[in-house]
Amino acid sequence: MNKTFHITTFGCQMNEHDSEIMAGLLIEKGLDRVDSIEEANIEILNTCSVRENADKRFFGTLGQLKNRHEKDQDFLVCVCGCMMQQQPVIDTLKAKYPWVDIVFGTHNLHTLPELLDKVIAEKSKIIDIWPDADTIAEDLPAERLFKHKALVNIMFGCNNFCTYCIVPYTRGREKSRRPEAIINEVKALVKDGVKEIMLLGQNVNSYKGHNDDADSNYTSFSELIYKLNEIEGLERIRFMTSHPKDLSDDLIQAFKDCNKLCKNIHLPVQAGSNAVLKRMNRVYTKQHYLGLIDKLRKAVPDITISTDIIVGFPGETEEDFQETLDLVNRVEYDSAFTFLYSIRQGTPAEKYEDQIPEEIKHERFNRLVDAVNTISEKKNAAYLGGIEKVLVEGRSKNNPFALSGRTDGFKLVNFSAAGTSFENNPDALIGQTIDIEIIGTKTFSLEGRIV
Ligand code: 5AD
Ligand code: SF4
């Protein structure tokens, strides 16, 4: 088959990784990946449904493909990802976009090659959505975005049912991969040049992997970290996302014991008011969360901490919002992702009556972003003059002559190879961990110089 494909990915790192797997499957099948939709015979839109604007962007992008699809008989359009696990979306596609060739979901993405064969052979259209999956498809190839770092799924789905969140409905119940499958995958990645892995799951702290060896039952998340820490050649282990309710003392201990586990944690708090946390079904209080931060900082004084915060959840009063600001000021996050609450169809919070008017949401959002950025700037300023070990990732996005990489604590560092022995071949540094002196700091990044 002489075909080219392109994948547009919306949403989180799980989706990024799903796209890497689909690319791996198609390349294995002999297709070529191209850089733009225009050059592609097959376009795949991998959707996200966590907030409303991702939905809107998907339908906008899809609408733009209609013209070409009408004119070009060989152009196939496939849509997949979280949005497809929602019946109202499927109904909309059937009614308004019947020309889409393949519609599939999050539980059957590994069947993409067969679906394509069928549609091409039969000149048909397919909608194939699995409500859930009993087993986890293993040994799937992946075409990685980066040579030296890799995303590794350790579990799928979520059992938490936070009242604002669509994920438990689109990704199903929690399922953990077997530890042996994860360890083998990481060993193979290391052989292929990978230095850093990011372990992925909606809620990694509740990882519970069934061991192949029947005598020893299950491997917990912290036990998995200890096992991965032993893999020779691997330099860095990261993970996301953790739920504060399941953050164990064992994991905090792992930060002390495992030299490869990066001193960085993303610990979504969502809100600072106990009343709001309760209505969100987060099952912890502000005090409990602050206690966890204390414990983490006592165990690992230089740990960097980031979070997710939702502004304008139904019923949020100014006093509730002040609790969020107070929490942000007390924790002093290195960075925070801030979101305007967005109603998701089918979630309990959709039915909550006291939705917050848009202007109030935006006004609170702006105040929160100011607070978060002021702290990020201050936190970064403390790195000035220090020396950091930076794993070089590639050319800097904004300046092609500069390189960029990440510190152990996940700080983005931009630096130039000019004036060094790498001046004529800066790419030789990619994948290496080098000492960088921090000579400038900004809100979202650091500037450095090779030592
Ligand atoms: N509205 C706004 N933000 C949301 N998130 C999840 N669902 C919603 C929603 N309905 C945010 C949470 C989560 C992050 C991935 O997205 O903060 O941690
Ligand atoms: Fe959504 Fe809550 Fe599960 Fe995270 S833990 S995916 S916010 S339901």
pTM tops 0.85: yes
Considering every ligand atom shown, identify the ligand nearest to the alpha carbon of residue 242 and give its number: 2
Q: Is 162 in the pocket of ligand 2 (CB under 6 A)?
A: yes
Cα of 227 from ligand 1 centre, angstroms:
32
- Which atom belonging to ligand 1 lies closest to the Cα atom of 164? 10
Cα 270 from chain centroid (whole Å): 16
Q: Is the CB of 310 under 6 A from ligand 1?
A: yes
Answer with the residue of higher pLDDT: 73 or 249. Answer: 249
Q: What is the mean pLDDT of the chain?
A: 95
Q: Using the structure block, give the residue that is written with the tokens 């790419």.
A: 427
Pocket flag, ligand 1, residue 447 (CB < 6 Å): no
Q: Which atom of ligand 1 is nearest to the CA of 268?
A: 18
Q: DSSP string covering 261-277, please?
A: B-SEEE---B-S-HHHH
Cβ-proximal residues to 13 (8 Å cutoff; 6+ apart), any chain: 151, 198, 200, 240
Q: Which of 441 and 138 is assigned the larger pLDDT?
A: 441
Residues 6+ apart with CB under 8 A from 408: 236, 262, 263, 264, 388, 389
Q: What confidence tens digit (pLDDT) does each residue in 7-41 have?
A: 999 999 999 999 999 999 999 999 999 999 999 99
Q: Tokens representing 327?
A: 């929490």
Asked whether residue 53 carries a pLDDT value surpassing 90, the answer given is: no
> Does ligand 2 come within 6 angstroms of the Cβ of 12?
no
Whole-angstrom distance, CA of residue 184 vs CA of residue 231: 10
Q: Helix, strand, coil % (nearest 5) of the chain?
A: 40, 25, 40
CA terminus-to-terminus distance, the chain? 50
Q: What Å distances lie between residue 180 and 176, 183, 193, 206, CA to CA?
A: 12, 5, 20, 17
Q: Which pLDDT band, with edges at 50, 70 and 90, does 54 fall under?
A: confident
Q: What are phi and psi of 285, to 5 degrees?
A: -110, 170
Q: Is the CB of 308 under 6 A from ligand 1?
A: yes
Model confidence pLDDT, tens digit, residues 408-427: 999 999 999 888 888 888 89
Task: Name the amino acid, one letter, at 328.
Answer: V
- 165, 167, 204: residue to mutate for ligand 1 pocket, most atoms within 8 A of CB: 165
Query: d(Cα 179, Cα 137) in Å, to the nearest integer?
Result: 14
* Range from 34-43, 134-143, 174-183 carrying the lowest mean pLDDT: 134-143
In short, whether 349's Cβ falls inside 6 Å of ligand 2 is no
Query: 294, exposed or middle or buried, with CB in 10 Å at 0-12, 13-18, 19+?
Result: exposed
Atom of ligand 2 nearest to the CA of 282: 2
Tell me, in angstroms, the distance from the centre of ligand 1 to residue 339's CA: 7
Q: What φ, ψ does residue 276 adopt, rounded to 5°?
A: -70, -45
Query: 423 burial class (0-12, 13-18, 19+ CB within 10 angstroms)?
Result: exposed
For residue 129, report the phi and psi dihedrals to the nearest 5 degrees: -115, 125
CA–CA dist 413, 32 (Å, integer): 33
How far, in Å, CA of 21 to CA of 176, rounded? 18
Burial class (CB in 10 A: 0-12, 13-18, 19+), 232: exposed
Angle between helices 318-331 and 358-381 (to 10 degrees): 10
| Residue to probe by mutation, ligand 1, list 86, 164, 270, 350, most atoms within 8 Å of CB | 164
